[in-house]
Structure 1
């Protein structure tokens, strides 16, 4: 068995960034001290706030706790679409709604549709279960007045159709946007916010890079989705919130603006979208 690759070095600081989507527990930060240390590393390079995201009920409990442990951490709670069948348990729905209403929870997510794993895993929710869960989360976001954070994998047309059919909440965020320029235009036209992760830096992500060029400043966020999707040239190594400046600088070069411009625009958007003081 090969040695685990070391994490990327700390990037050159870029002040005023927000990691709009991460999973700090999956990065190994599961205690108050570990959470503080992770956020301290991020803050040392200018990443002042992080939104840590749940995929199931256990994680939903954790992210709200973590957001209470450190004022720089905010939570998002939902059932990942592959776990949508868990919503059939009334107790799960009730507790999720309680956690979602917590003041430290700033978004409902990640929810949506994931067709990639269908037929590949036995534990994945069916399409019907995913549509049902997605509708419930859309309604929850509207009732609580919180943004909806979308997970979309191989489901562009169905995601857009569901949002049109259910009636999208005021704010919709496509986390780790992975579509092409056409999908980006359709999302932008609907007023949705597109969040870009390290995938946009990959050498084979030509279509995604074309999409990233056309998103207006006011509809752009940057994220890590850590511990996954570490930016180039560190792809395949453990990701963490401190890596946001790598992606922000890549986006700046791609869009022909300064890194400071990207930091300012995405931070302003995070403040507005999540309602967090920065």
Structure 2
């Protein structure tokens, strides 16, 4: 990812347990995990509050290597590999060959995160331009289709561009919009296409009005939940360092918004994650 998380704020306290839960998108390496012991400690904290498994996501080539390895260290960890759209400039022939090899591993359950990010170009030095992002996105789409694995999409300020590329290339059978942050119109388009929408701590932010209006439009069987840790810590701990154990805060905030029992939202989202990622735990 391309943003920093404050290390000066105390971590959130452990929430009341809520099970079953699966963190559909997290970054264990960015959470500070370096080895199998670190990963086990993070998953133990998560397991104590009901989070049974996580999918750790790569956003550059080094993270892809690490994520694929971490998925072999602990049965509660799965991986997705790809290049973040802001890093699409790094998708040379060697990177493509290595990502193809990593993505084919059995415990790598998705391709990504890929997609389009039109927020950072012009704001972040070294950020890939939109044309380069389109080319990389198309390559990831093709890889997902060739491997028969879900496509994990990052979309920031790029609703129309993402939909244009998916139409032009032909979407894979399974598409996941991670950290869905768009409004009702995009939610309807994705739901109608049969795609999965993964909600993060942003759904608990009272100023995320468009997202909070969109969340009730997501069919229960197309809903995933995630932390995107160490980022996007849910209210009332926004700005603190996130971790998979914080997922129950997001699910309870979402359940309140949807006027549904939190246990039902947890059960639906975890069943969807098991199905979409073909989890074997």
Residue by residue, what CA displacement relative to the aligned partner does 1:47-86 show, whole Å, maximum 9, x if unpaired? Answer: 0000000001100000011100001000000000011111
Gapped runs of 5+ residues in structure 2?
Answer: 1-5
Structure 1 residue aligned with 2:119 = 116
Partner of 2:90: 86
TM-score when scaled to structure 2?
0.97
Matched, 1:169 2:172: yes
Q: Partner of 1:99 in structure 2?
A: 102
1:122 Cα deviation (Å)? Answer: 2.4
CA distance in 2: counterparts of 1:113 and 1:26, whole angstroms: 21
Following superposition, the deviation at residue 277 of structure 1 comes to: 2.6
Which residue does the alignment assign to 1:125?
Answer: 128
Aligned mates of 2:280, 2:258 — CA distance in 1? 27
Q: Give aligned pairs, total.
A: 276
Residue in structure 2 matched with residue 273 of structure 1 by the alignment:
276
1:266 shift after superposition: 0.3
Deviation at 1:3, TM superposition (A): 7.3
Q: 1:184-263 residue pairs with structure 2 within 5 A? A: 184-263=187-266
**Deviation of 1:130 (Å):** 0.5
Q: Over residues 213-269 of structure 1, what are the superposed CA-to-partner deviations in whole Å (9 max), with x where a residue is unaligned?
A: 111100000000000000000000000000110111111111111111001100110
User: 1:44 aligns to what?
Assistant: 48
Asked if 1:73 corresponds to 2:69, the answer is: no
1:76-125 CA-to-partner distances (Å, cap 9, x unmatched) read 000000111111x2111100100000001000010000111111122011
Answer yes or no: is the 8 Å Cα contact 2:55–2:80 preserved in 1.
Answer: yes
Q: Distance in 1 between matches of 2:186 and 2:112?
A: 20
Alpha-carbon distance between aligned partners in 1 of 2:213 and 2:141, rounded to the nearest angstrom = 29
Q: 1:25: which partner in 2?
A: 29
Take 1:192 and 1:130, find their aligned partners in 2: how far apart are those partners?
21
Does the C-alpha gap of structure 1 residues 73 and 183 become closer, same or farther in structure 2, counting only changes over 3 Å?
Answer: same
TM score, norm. by length of structure 1: 0.98
In structure 2, what is the Cα distance between the partners aligned to 1:100 and 1:26? 20
Contact 2:201/2:234 (8 A) holds in 1: yes
SS at 2:106 equivalent: coil
Structure 1's unaligned 5+ residue stretches are: none
Rounded Cα–Cα distance in structure 2 between residues aligned with 1:98 and 1:20: 22
Aligned equivalents of 2:7, 2:108: Cα separation in 1: 37
CA deviations on 1:116-163 (whole Å, 9 max, x unpaired) are 111112201111110000000000000000000000011000101110
Residues 116 and 137 in structure 2, CA contact (< 8 A), matched pair in contact too: yes
Aligned-pair RMSD on alpha carbons?
1.0
The answer to which of 192-201 and 249-258 deviates more is 249-258
Match of 1:102, SS state, is coil
> Separation in 2 of the partners of 1:214 and 1:14?
23
Q: Is the 8 A contact 2:221 2:268 kept in 1?
A: yes
Structure 1 moving runs of 4+ over 6 Å: none
